[in-house]
Structure 1
Amino acid sequence: MKVLGACPLDCPDACSWVVDVQDGRAAGLRGNKEHPVTRGALCVKVNRYLEQVHSPERLTRPLRRVGRKGEGRFEPISWDEALDEIAERLTGIIAEYGGEAVWPFHGTGSLGYIQGLEGLSGRRFFNTLGASRHDPTICSVAGTVGLEYTLGTAGGMDPENLAASKLILLWGTNPMTSGHHVWKFIQDSGAYTVAIDPVRTKTAERCDEHLAPLPGTDAALALGLMHVIVGLGAQDEEFLAAHTEGWPEFRSRIAEYPPERAAAITGVPVERIVALGERIARTRPTAIRASQGMQRHAGGGMALRTLACLPGVTGDWAIRGGGLHYSTSGHFRLDTPALTRFDLLPQPVRTLSMTRMGEALLDPDGPPVHALFVIGANPVGSNPDQRRVIEGLSRADLFTVVLEHFPTDTVDYADIVLPATMQPEHLDVLAAYGNLYLVWNEPAVAPPGDCLPTTETFRRLARRMGLTEPALYESDEELANQLLKQYDVDRLRAEGFLKIAPGPVPAGKLRFVSNLAERDGHAPLAGYTPPADPGDGLVLISAASHYFLNTGFGSNPELRRRAGELRVTIHPDDAAARGIADGDPVTVGNDRGSFDAIAEVSDTVRPGVAATPKGRWAKHSGGATVNATIAERDSDYGGGAVFHDNRVRITPRLQE
């Protein structure tokens, strides 16, 4: 039997897949050949997804902690015992401290709207309790807000239209590792491709040209390129007059960034900036593909805001195959308020930032968090300031419940662990953020052991606590119908995927000057905001691994073998200055923390920059990962994370 499903992982592609079921077991998994983006292919990680489903390390029974927090020692218990203990603890905490003492911490382990982050699965239950809100700031919020200031929407061009582009700028994105299906449309175009990235990635190696700016200087580079374009008189005056606001002011801003200034800020040679600016000036359509990594710094929101201005100056927003693609999420008309039901809150409550977990758990002045539910997340492995996160999770008075598939670093700090179903075992709906397809996931097999869908877990917990709100007990099918009221649910379920019609971009006029930004307390005019790490040393980039997805697959033995030892790549000039040779053991650190790695000396990184992949588990990496060095600071817009605004010292490590 073949069952249509969808990959739930934090990737732009949201692949449609087919599960081959034999004798009630998921025996095979392949990409859906009928899906116009998936085209039958899955990535190197998801090709091993069924190894995860059938792994002997998988959690299949509820667990209660019997050791100290962090030791990872548990005993199996029944669901009745688990629900009784959780209900009793929650009742006591709410009676003493109020509902806001409860924090439902959702992560990107699943982007499902029914079971995962996008629909904040279980949120109805938490709203009925009056729990704190959770703000998922870890991924893309700064860039999303920046695009909304410029374009009126975060939805950009249809990535399938990259096939019509003549020039493609792959700006801070590495699709050969993350979201590789867009590469097919790039190849179909025959366009001249330029990678703009501090690291010569797998993608950059396949491009016609590679520019390596210093991290966090992308907006200055964009302004320098626009200076060249305007200097040649290549701006589209007709588009500017009809479809933009604030052009005279922005033209003055462009004049402040001649190529010489842009080169001094970015470290890109003047002649390279001029040459690319001239190429953009004479090439229509030009498209930009940008992704989340480039906005994870102090000026990340402004970077996307300014980058979206470039196709406005050239008029590419009006041409098929032109414009900018960051995320397509803004195009989907999904009724998420019907899922989350924040109207069930008995009174307004505080919002807690996902990327400030350590601060929230350790703040002596704010209202305390006494109950933490971790859902589809591994904050010990994924959050900034790893040391403070661990310190917060170690609090004796913090009651922590983790819904999980595997014994992650975060599970080790749980009081109760609840086994969750994986994608072939439950119903879900996905909306890609790298294309315009809704995808349906039909349950294909029964879950192993005592695993439950997240929705069912909270239905049972609501019943155990005696909650009477009818919305807490609606089925997964009812939830899906409420979410998808604008679309043909029967067709989506039967065919497995459905392409939606995008909204207009820009939505209204493109705003070089944004009154909304000014009302939010930001500069009204698009421009450049520099990175802000006050430390010294090299700027450390911790981008996606080719073998892990965030910390997902961190338990997979074969992918861990392929990933090899944790390495940090440094330029030969920087290595020589520090007395480091290729293959040397090193310590990478700053005032926040440190981790150990093996030096890889290579010119794939530019001078002044180091690079190491994210996604390792601390328990597999000597107790610390790259996130031990990253600050709990906010980016400029939306409280986003600053993973790439991080300076470190790299020193030789003495062998014992």
Structure 2
Amino acid sequence: MFDDLTRRDLFRIGALAGAAAAGLGTIEIVNQAVEPGPRFTPGKTTGAVTRVPSMCQMCTTACGIIANVREGRLLTIEGNPEDPNSRGSICAKGVAGPSVLYDPYRLLYPLKRVGRRGEGRWRRISWEEAYDEIADRLRAIRESGHPEEFALQQGRNRSKDIVRRFLNAYGTPSHFTHRALCSLNRRAAILTTIGESDWDLGDFENSRYILNFGCNWAEAHQGHIPVATRMMRAREHNNAKIVTLESRLSNTAALSDEWFCVKPGTDGLIALAMSNVICAEGLWDKEWFDTWCNYPADKYAEHVRSYTPERAEAESGMPATAIRRIAREFAAAAPRCTTICNRGSHAHRNGFYNDRAITVLNALVGNMGKAGGWCWHPNAEWDDKQFPEPGPIPPKPTVRSVIADAKDWPLANAWQGREMKVGEIVYLWIKERRQRVSALMTYNCDQAWAWPEANLVRDVLADEELIPFHFCMDVMYSETAHLADIVLPWTTYLERWDIDARPPQGLVDYVGLRQPVVRPLGETKDLREVFPELARRIGGGMERYFPWQTPEEYFEEYFRAVPGGLSHMRAHGAWQDPRKRPHYLPYERRLSDEELAGSEIDEPTGVIYKGTDPKTGERQAIGILINGIARRGFTTPSRKVEVSSTFIAVKGEQADKRIDPLPIYDPIPSHSRPFAADELIMISFKWNVHNAHRTGQSKWLQEIVHSNPAWLNTATAAQLGLSEGDWIEVTSFRPHDPHVPHGDGSELGSLRTRVHLTEGVHPSVIAISHNSGRSHGGPIATNGRDQARIPAYGPASHDAKEQPWWAGALSVPQNDIMPIYPDPVSGQQAYHDTIVRIRKL
């Protein structure tokens, strides 16, 4: 294949070689060699250092950063003290940014498949050729009258504006994300309870007591550094106590004052048992609860009476005496106490109810919206009223899509403007031909490796009848790119533009700018260049929604509300309106005479209505009468904290599924039966230096953590005759649950790994990190499995001269044996409920 190319030519080709040794096919470049194209000079540099503010994207926290650049080359990255969320701190992932930017196995040029899909044979093409083929394909689908047959799948997207604009201009609603694999249950629980936000923000820095239900904020939380630094300041300045309930001894558990190793999926039962204690012993803020909740305190006390600490101990393993003590301590610290929860509590089959119980626990002690308490902010990102997206804005699609609707789950899209698509089910739907996909774009999402039942995903992507055309855009070659027809080289976050912000941990929203700190390497491009060009070539009116010529022109308009505009943002990286104050007690705000003009009061409930909702046609609630005073209230239908939610009960009835209006404990069916000696619950976790597929190609981070053995409790190992480092076979099973797809308890698959024995995991659990197990992406990402020897930017890179010293280290793909397991209520993937059997090899 390479007879006409010299070895020196091969080192100049801007693409990857593949993993023949692993039996996965070889990535071959079958046409011309190219000249190396670095935009920097390796080795020692001279001259002044330029400091460029921007925003990290090595994980979802999007911390502000300062890039130190000399002569066009990025030297180091540090935190930006002007970012109000991260306040100058960054983590190891952020520091490692240069290792991704200058990864020798990056994609730098467009590639087109030759031969069969998945065979791994490619030729380099021009952007003109790539644009023409993609635009021709998409134009034909759009003109066929079925625009929904073009689907876009994305991973963590920090360019939501341009993605939404392109899809709406095209007219397709077939857009699916990772939401159900990440935070759907938690968001649904919060929206159900308080209405105005789907993201809680404990006021940790001002708190005195933090009760953590399975949130690994020190390593892998969406608020990571902003949360972790505030936790530590609370401990230092307030002598705050941190109590963690988690099935594994994470770094977060290790940083806590107390850690309770609980059985997976029992967080909600523990929260209800604590509520039992608080009610029974009169430790509640009964006046606040009766004033601001839609369910009487005495009736809620009756509801939680059966959830005794002894019952919780029997199922969770947390001692009843500890449950009582922690409940009393938590209530005594009110209102300067709060909870935090994440995937440890909600990524379960019963996760919606778990997080409902945890949320209402806060209402019992009256800490909601108070300094040091359980808080929130209506803007999970920047204020889109203050910073409206530049026009013209395309209308939303009118056609329907199975992918977008997710009608099998009553709470998946229950709230207007809150898209909660059940992404883990989409490839099964495509296989079952419930959704026709004529063209698929995958963007920043290696679903062929990172999705549940990844082997099913790979089978569907390889099938040219199910998906006739697939183009992929990403920074690195991957399992998903390997199954594409065209691969587009994407800029790293250090080479592109974005408007960005994250939930404001200081309770005051802000806006940030991601800007290029160096020129893009090779021929990499961003969506902000690609989508406008595709829109112009597809035509049919799409082009009118992309009138600007450059990203800078677009962002000049976007940041017009900032004093100094884009120039200020480029110089500082972030801006916060000095007139805004922390979002405390929003429900107590009095309505003005202007707001009340023309309103009417519903006498039985005290809800104040004015006008109608333009989307639903129903009366528009604007507030509630509390003790004769018109206040804003919460934004639920009752304008109160909805301890009991008629809304979700009705949604359940409409979908022929029962959703209890009150927080309950719903035992996980497959966990409730007696286990055999070799059966365990498999849970998943993230290392502090990795985040999904975005960090695998970082040599600096992969060197720190490059393997994922199975954690096993020492007592459990003794019963099974296992010692440290022994090889085992782990076989997984689909759940016994008629409410989930293929819930027949059948065997799914097996993997082989080594065991790591520790006291830091529950005896009924086997814990495996899903940050490893790559088969494509170069030797750094795959521990040498992918024998790529073709560096993307020329032979000068020392990183390309040899395999990493950890080549061959154990690395297993957990997601291959993780079943598709949506929570029947919302569609959240149950990551921590899979039953497995282990066998010593």
Q: CA deviation at 1:43?
A: 1.0
Aligned position for 1:145: 188
**How many Å separate the matches in 2 of 1:194 and 1:561?**
32
> Which of the residues 160, 185, 208 maps onto 1:166?
208
Verify: 1:184 aligned to 2:321, yes or no: no
Q: CA deviation at 1:480?
A: 4.8
> Which of the residues 454, 464, 476 maps onto 1:406?
476
TM-score for both structures, normalised by structure 1: 0.91
**How many Å separate the matches in 2 of 1:633 and 1:538?**
17
Q: CA deviation at 1:91?
A: 3.7
**Structure 2 contact 261–762 (Cα < 8 Å) conserved:** yes
**Structure 2 contact 383–510 (Cα < 8 Å) conserved:** no
**Structure 2 contact 247–264 (Cα < 8 Å) conserved:** yes
**Structure 1 contact 381–615 (Cα < 8 Å) conserved:** no
Residue identity over aligned pairs, in percent, reads 25
Aligned position for 1:426: 496
**How many Å separate the matches in 2 of 1:616 and 1:167?**
35
**Structure 2 contact 713–757 (Cα < 8 Å) conserved:** yes
Q: CA deviation at 1:344?
A: 4.8
Q: CA deviation at 1:642?
A: 1.5
**How many Å separate the matches in 1 of 2:559 and 2:365?**
37
Q: CA deviation at 1:427?
A: 1.3
**How many Å separate the matches in 1 of 2:556 and 2:353?**
37
> Which of the residues 428, 432, 445 maps onto 1:363?
432
Q: CA deviation at 1:544?
A: 1.3
Counterpart amino acid of residue 600 in structure 1:
H
Counterpart amino acid of residue 137 in structure 2:
R
Q: Deviations along 1:172-214, whole A, 9 cap, x unmatched?
A: 1122212134222222222111011111111111211111221
Label 1:599 to 1:342 Cα distance change in 2 as closer, same or farther (>3 A).
farther
**Structure 2 contact 187–199 (Cα < 8 Å) conserved:** no
Verify: 1:530 aligned to 2:600, yes or no: no
> Which of the residues 476, 492, 497 maps onto 2:574?
497
Verify: 1:602 aligned to 2:758, yes or no: yes
> Which of the residues 223, 236, 242 maps onto 2:285?
236
Range that drifts further, 509-518 or 54-63 = 509-518
Verify: 1:219 aligned to 2:219, yes or no: no
Q: CA deviation at 1:329?
A: 5.1
**How many Å separate the matches in 2 of 1:342 and 1:649?**
52
Q: Deviations along 1:139-168, whole A, 9 cap, x unmatched?
A: 112110110111123356655x31221111
**How many Å separate the matches in 1 of 2:93 and 2:123?**
31
**How many Å separate the matches in 2 of 1:369 and 1:299?**
32
**Structure 1 contact 62–79 (Cα < 8 Å) conserved:** yes
Q: CA deviation at 1:637?
A: 4.1
Label 1:17 to 1:573 Cα distance change in 2 as closer, same or farther (>3 A).
same
Aligned position for 1:123: 164
| Equivalent position SS for 1:612 | strand
Label 1:523 to 1:338 Cα distance change in 2 as closer, same or farther (>3 A).
farther
| Equivalent position SS for 1:592 | strand
**Structure 1 contact 134–351 (Cα < 8 Å) conserved:** yes
Aligned position for 1:583: 725
Verify: 1:203 aligned to 2:252, yes or no: yes
Q: CA deviation at 1:560?
A: 2.2
| Equivalent position SS for 1:180 | helix
**Structure 1 contact 380–409 (Cα < 8 Å) conserved:** yes
Label 1:624 to 1:131 Cα distance change in 2 as closer, same or farther (>3 A).
farther
| Equivalent position SS for 1:41 | coil
Verify: 1:40 aligned to 2:88, yes or no: yes
> Which of the residues 431, 452, 458 maps onto 1:390?
458
Aligned residues: 642
Matches within 5 A, 1:56-455: 56-94=104-142, 98-108=146-156, 111-112=157-158, 115=159, 118-119=160-161, 121-136=162-177, 137-154=180-197, 158-159=201-202, 161-178=203-220, 179-189=224-234, 190-247=239-296, 248-284=298-334, 285-317=336-368, 319-323=370-374, 330=380, 332-334=382-384, 338=389, 343-345=395-397, 347-352=399-404, 353-364=422-433, 366-397=434-465, 398=467, 399-433=469-503, 435=505, 436-455=509-528
**Structure 1 contact 301–636 (Cα < 8 Å) conserved:** no
Verify: 1:29 aligned to 2:74, yes or no: no
Q: Deviations along 1:555-600, whole A, 9 cap, x unmatched?
A: 2233223213321101122222333211112222212223232201
| Equivalent position SS for 2:328 | helix
**How many Å separate the matches in 2 of 1:10 and 1:250?**
40
**Structure 2 contact 402–435 (Cα < 8 Å) conserved:** no
**Structure 2 contact 173–399 (Cα < 8 Å) conserved:** no
**Structure 1 contact 629–646 (Cα < 8 Å) conserved:** no
| Equivalent position SS for 1:351 | helix
Gaps of 5+ in 2: 1-49, 405-421, 588-633, 653-658, 733-746, 776-781, 786-810
Aligned position for 2:648: 517
Counterpart amino acid of residue 523 in structure 1:
D
Label 1:576 to 1:412 Cα distance change in 2 as closer, same or farther (>3 A).
same
Range that drifts further, 395-404 or 485-494 = 485-494
**How many Å separate the matches in 2 of 1:286 and 1:39?**
23
**How many Å separate the matches in 1 of 2:90 and 2:378?**
20
**Structure 1 contact 225–273 (Cα < 8 Å) conserved:** yes
TM-score for both structures, normalised by structure 2: 0.72
CA-based RMSD: 2.7
Q: Deviations along 1:349-401, whole A, 9 cap, x unmatched?
A: 4434322132133113x232121100111101221111111111111232110
Q: CA deviation at 1:532?
A: 4.4
**How many Å separate the matches in 1 of 2:830 and 2:58?**
22
Range that drifts further, 391-400 or 347-356 = 347-356
Q: CA deviation at 1:257?
A: 0.4
**Structure 1 contact 356–384 (Cα < 8 Å) conserved:** no
Counterpart amino acid of residue 527 in structure 1:
I
Aligned position for 2:806: none
| Equivalent position SS for 1:446 | coil
Counterpart amino acid of residue 593 in structure 1:
G
Aligned position for 2:804: none
**Structure 1 contact 150–514 (Cα < 8 Å) conserved:** yes
**How many Å separate the matches in 1 of 2:759 and 2:394?**
51
**How many Å separate the matches in 2 of 1:93 and 1:324?**
46
Label 1:511 to 1:605 Cα distance change in 2 as closer, same or farther (>3 A).
same
**Structure 2 contact 190–200 (Cα < 8 Å) conserved:** no
**Structure 1 contact 334–486 (Cα < 8 Å) conserved:** no
**How many Å separate the matches in 1 of 2:325 and 2:207?**
19
**How many Å separate the matches in 1 of 2:320 and 2:818?**
32
Q: CA deviation at 1:45?
A: 1.6
**How many Å separate the matches in 1 of 2:140 and 2:423?**
25
Matches within 5 A, 1:463-502: 463-469=536-542, 470-474=544-548, 475-477=550-552, 480=555, 490=566, 492-499=569-576, 501=580
| Equivalent position SS for 2:312 | helix
Label 1:515 to 1:492 Cα distance change in 2 as closer, same or farther (>3 A).
farther
**Structure 1 contact 172–293 (Cα < 8 Å) conserved:** yes
**Structure 1 contact 430–438 (Cα < 8 Å) conserved:** yes
* Structure of higher CA gyration radius: 2
**Structure 1 contact 584–599 (Cα < 8 Å) conserved:** yes
Q: CA deviation at 1:63?
A: 0.4
**Structure 1 contact 124–344 (Cα < 8 Å) conserved:** no
| Equivalent position SS for 1:317 | coil
Matches within 5 A, 1:5-16: 5-11=54-60, 13-16=61-64
**Structure 1 contact 402–411 (Cα < 8 Å) conserved:** yes
Aligned position for 2:837: 649
**How many Å separate the matches in 2 of 1:255 and 1:582?**
44
Label 1:461 to 1:156 Cα distance change in 2 as closer, same or farther (>3 A).
closer
**How many Å separate the matches in 2 of 1:174 and 1:123?**
31
**How many Å separate the matches in 2 of 1:20 and 1:331?**
27
